[in-house]
Amino acid sequence: MTAATHSTLFPQGSGSSQYPAPPGGADAVLEGLDPEQREVATALRGPVCVLAGAGTGKTRAITHRIAYGVRAGILQPSSVLAVTFTNRAAGEMRGRLRQLGASGVQARTFHSAALRQLQYFWPKAVGGSLPRLVDRKIQLVADAAAACGIRLDRGELRDVTAEIEWCKVTRTVPADYAAMAAKTGREAPRHPGEITQLYAAYEDVKSDRGVIDFEDVLLLTVGILQDRHDIADAVRAQYQHFVVDEYQDVSPLQQRLLELWLGERDSLCVVGDASQTIYSFTGATPDHLLDFRTRHPGATVVKLVRDYRSSPQVVHLANGLLAQARGRAAEHRLELISQRDSGPEPVYTEYTDEPAEAEGAARRIRDLIASGVPASEIAILFRTNAQSEIYEQALADAGVPYQLRGAERFFDRPEVKRAIHGLRAAGRFGGNDSLLDDVVDLPAQVRAVLSSEGWTSEPPAGSGAVRERWESLAALVHLAQDFAAAKPDATLGDLVAELAERAAAQHAPTVQGVTLASLHSAKGLEWDVVLLVGVAEGMMPITYAKTEEQIEEERRLLYVGVTRARQHLSVSWALSRSPGSRPNRRPSRFLDGLRPGSTAAPTRGGAGGPGGIERGVAGGVEGVVRRVPRQPARCRVCGRTLTDAGEMKLMRCEDCPSDMDEGLYERLRDWRAAQAQRSGQPDFCVFTDKTLMAIAEAVPATPAELARIPGVLNRKLNRYGTEVLAICAGQELEEGNDED
């Protein structure tokens, strides 16, 4: 084995760790991999797309791929760059690679890799030192707002900051924001004109202070690689093989950087699952994953569907959720096949109200811990952070330790602290507070005080920090109503004392406790026991998910939650918010046909099914992933078994005589060229040459005959079928006729 050498372009980090002895050789690296994982590990040439379902061992497959290439002498460690989206994932990848004897491989986040390159090349490309990188941009946004004379509260600052980040990762400049927001149906936190003004002012503030932000790291690296061919060549000489994990989460900006790293080469392996796309609000899009075969016609596609994480019962529910999905991502869904022993069926529980649901979850967890399940192997997952408070309280009351992941504890949130401070002040000096002049009962007093903190009777539109803050305040309003119902004579001071006791009860050490997490923050994690709570209409899908795209992302979010469970899965919902309230809620529509006693929704077709391997053929395939046929294809002339994709499309050997209508073939080619020009895409994206040859040989007369030709998929049959059949019938198409 050749020892890893230090890069001449980028300095290496120092430090070492002790790991078990690596496998004895390249072949030993492949031991223990299933057939599809092994195919990933040995597919070292050309573009490779790995469609990896939840729990199918994708990290194992791609790290063994890199290690096998290094140990076999095919890949130089310093020439490989593996990129992912979190430091945790990058660290895990580096650790596995060291264990496999592939030290020296760079495994980084997009931003980390770009920052190293930017720091190294900035003096040469621009001169001087790289501008200071700011950790948090919210203060800069506040200063930009002040310069514009626009007043933003804390929640709005967070939302505007997130909106600016979205603009930058989607490569949207200030002048184009309003049009882009309208085109994408984005719910702007302020008027689009104000966002445009704030965005432009923010860029001016950064420029004046000589600082850059997180997104600038990618933007500046892209700019340098685009403008300085000598620097681009140097980077490409250093890195020659690329692996991208979680490819469904790539933003347009990250995709552009990847393209510049690659140049004209195709040594790229991407790994992803369109059914786990849950961050589109940040600019992430699965389109790059779904279009991979179109951009790389010769790609090898491997599907990983053997689920090693979850029991067959959990996998069955996960598959059932996606079977009802719609949209483009659903067309490429993967049907998982559990590799674990049978486990218990998922438990579906309906409660009368939210407190009863929280108490029921706490009881079940207490029983599980008593039976020997470690608290650290149990998680409660919910849709919004504001839901955490009632579960924090229920677990505290039950004496169950917990830890909150991905969000502040309810009573540590700034808006909750300010609200309690306001309630305490009102309780002491309420007689001098004009807000309380016309209110009598406790809930009305709380609503009056919290209205000055941003609470309103109707929730704000859209998602984001403003919505989260409102939900936190609304939780306090609901708590006050429940407290007053239990103690009709309670005062504002009594409520404040109750809140103080609740906050104090939840500050016990919770390092080894049950995990409380939102579904978004649970991505990439797994537990033996998962309790999915609040799975009711209005919360799952969330009320502000209006469009079909937004609804489908909510379905995928629930799918991610289900697939976090290894063995025990509990799904629950409440019919009302509080005791005695009207039971006007119903279970989530996503559970229709899956939970006992519910009616099944119509099943949607998808591109799921068994896993497998599809060899790419340079020169074109239709950009749609197909499974390898179960029966061998045979030449319709000589009967020989066909293995070449182009021959299988023609259903004859390349050198067997053809009965193709040459005139029809030329007319089809002319028609295809016109279609491609109208749509602005390459000719082969309409139909490949082989498909046109097959049509010209078969001369179909009906849609059914045309559909039997390999390469004529339903989508293309619907789009082009009428015109193709007209051409085959010898009819002249009207000038400019276009099925688009």
Is the alpha carbon torsion for 703, 627, 286, 621 positive or negative?
negative
CA 22 to each of CA 19, 522, 559, 562, 637: distance values in angstroms, whole numbers, following the listed order: 8, 31, 36, 34, 53
β-pair partners for 702? none
CA angle (19 as vertex; 16, 23 as ends), nearest 5: 125
285 is in an annotated binding site: no
**Residue 168 known to bind ligand:** no
Q: Does 541 sit behind a cis peptide bond, omega within 30 degrees of 0 on the bond before it?
A: yes
Of all helices (H) and strands (E), which one includes residue 574? strand 565-574
Beta strands 347-351 and 306-307 are unpaired
Q: Which two tokens stand for residue 669?
A: 């080619």
Q: Is 52 annotated as a binding residue?
A: yes
Residue of 123, 122, 124 lying closest to 114 (CA atoms): 122
Using alpha carbons, select from 413, 591, 559 the residue that is nearest to residue 53.
Answer: 559
Is 130 within 8 Å of 118 (Cβ atoms)?
yes
In 3D, which of 97, 28, 24 has the Cα closest to residue 59?
97
- State yes or no: 170 annotated in a binding site: no
CA 498, CA 83: separation in Å to the nearest integer?
49
User: Is 58 labelled a binding residue?
Assistant: yes
Question: Per the annotation, does 8 bind a ligand?
Answer: no
CA 478 to chain centroid: 33
User: Is there a binding annotation on residue 32?
Assistant: no
| Category of 255 on φ-ψ map: left (φ > 0), alpha (ψ -120 to 50) or beta | alpha
User: Would the annotation count 172 as a binding residue?
Assistant: no
Residues in a beta bridge with 52? 304
How many residues comprise the chain? Answer: 740
At 225, give phi and psi (nearest 5°). -65, -30
d(CA 469, CA 407): 12
Question: If we measure between CA atoms, which residue out of 691, 598, 607, 678 comes closest to residue 649?
Answer: 691
> What residues are designated binding site?
52-59
Annotated binding site for ATP: 52-59
